[in-house]
């Protein structure tokens, strides 16, 4: 039985495409096959690292202002609230960009989420399971009763490694080849309603 849902933010609760990761990586000098946070963490000296983080935060905030709620996001969150299912957010983004993007939602707010884990307070970022395990603890449930929903490999890996149920959101695209296997694949967020019974 699923007692709480932990949502990725960009491309899951928001429509995909507000951040152009290819352009961002070019701007940061990050190889296209590397993850941005891990690349920045490895930069030396500290000044380079700080400059890169400042650039990242600026790009995130600009993207957050442009972002829009994903199809079905507000409906699903409200449905889960009525069902008494816990709601949370887990993101590799900074908290400020999540708060900024939420201003574009009209029917839900951050108050609708009991757990909000950004890169400042989620331990090691996804694909590490730290944040998922923290969320399960905050909800007071075992990880097996938590569903992690996301549109990227790292979401599935983090959920799987924590022992949670995982749902991969395609946003209507082809399912990419992934080294991790989700428990569910859905085209849109409202496809998850059936997981919670009539």
pLDDT tens for residues 106-122? 999 999 999 999 999 98
* % pLDDT > 70, the chain: 99
Q: Which stretches of 67-198 are DSSP H helices?
A: 73-83, 95-102, 130-139, 153-162
The reported pLDDT for the residue numbered 197 is: 76
For residue 69, the 8-state DSSP code is B
pLDDT mean across residues, the chain: 96
Domain 4-16+68-196: assigned CATH number: 3.40.50.1000
* Percent of the residues in the chain that have a pLDDT greater than 90, as a whole number: 94
* pLDDT tens-digit map of 56-93: 999 999 999 999 999 999 999 999 999 999 999 999 99
Give me the residue spans of the domains in the chain. 4-16+68-196, 21-66
Tokens for 128, please give them. 């590490």
R_g of the chain, CA atoms, integer Å: 16
- Return d(Cα 193, Cα 78) in angstroms, integer: 11
Q: Is the pTM of this model over 0.85?
A: yes
Please count the other Cβ atoms lying within 10 Å of the Cβ belonging to residue 111. 8
Give pLDDT, residue 132. 98
Average pLDDT over residues 17-24: 90
Is residue 134 predicted with pLDDT exceeding 90?
Answer: yes
Question: Long-range contacts of range 22-31, CB-CB < 8 Å, 24 or more positions apart?
Answer: 24/56, 24/59, 27/55, 27/59, 28/52, 28/55, 28/56
Question: b or e along 15-37 (b: 16 or more beta carbons within 10 Å of the residue's beta carbon)?
Answer: bbebbeeeebbeebebeeeebbb
């Amino acid at each position: 039985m699923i007692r709480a849902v932990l949502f990725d933010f960009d491309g899951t609760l928001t429509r995909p495409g507000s951040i152009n990761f290819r352009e961002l990586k070019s701007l940061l000098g990050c190889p296209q096959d590397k993850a941005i946070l891990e690349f920045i963490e490895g930069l030396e000296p500290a000044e380079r690292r700080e400059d890169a983080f400042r650039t990242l935060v600026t790009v995130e905030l600009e993207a957050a202002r442009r972002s829009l709620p994903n199809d079905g996001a507000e409906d699903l969150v409200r449905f889960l609230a009525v069902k008494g299912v816990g709601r949370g957010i887990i993101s590799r983004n900074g908290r400020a960009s999540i708060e900024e993007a939420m201003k574009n939602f009209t029917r839900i707010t951050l108050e609708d989420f009991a757990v909000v884990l950004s890169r400042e307070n989620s331990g090691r970022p996804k694909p590490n399971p730290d944040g998922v395990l923290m969320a399960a603890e905050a909800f007071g449930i075992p990880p097996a009763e938590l569903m992690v929903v996301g549109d990227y490999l790292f979401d599935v890996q983090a959920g799987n490694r924590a022992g949670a149920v995982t749902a991969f959101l395609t946003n209507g695209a082809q399912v990419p080849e992934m080294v991790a296997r989700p428990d569910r694949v859905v085209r849109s967020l409202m496809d998850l309603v059936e997981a919670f019974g009539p």
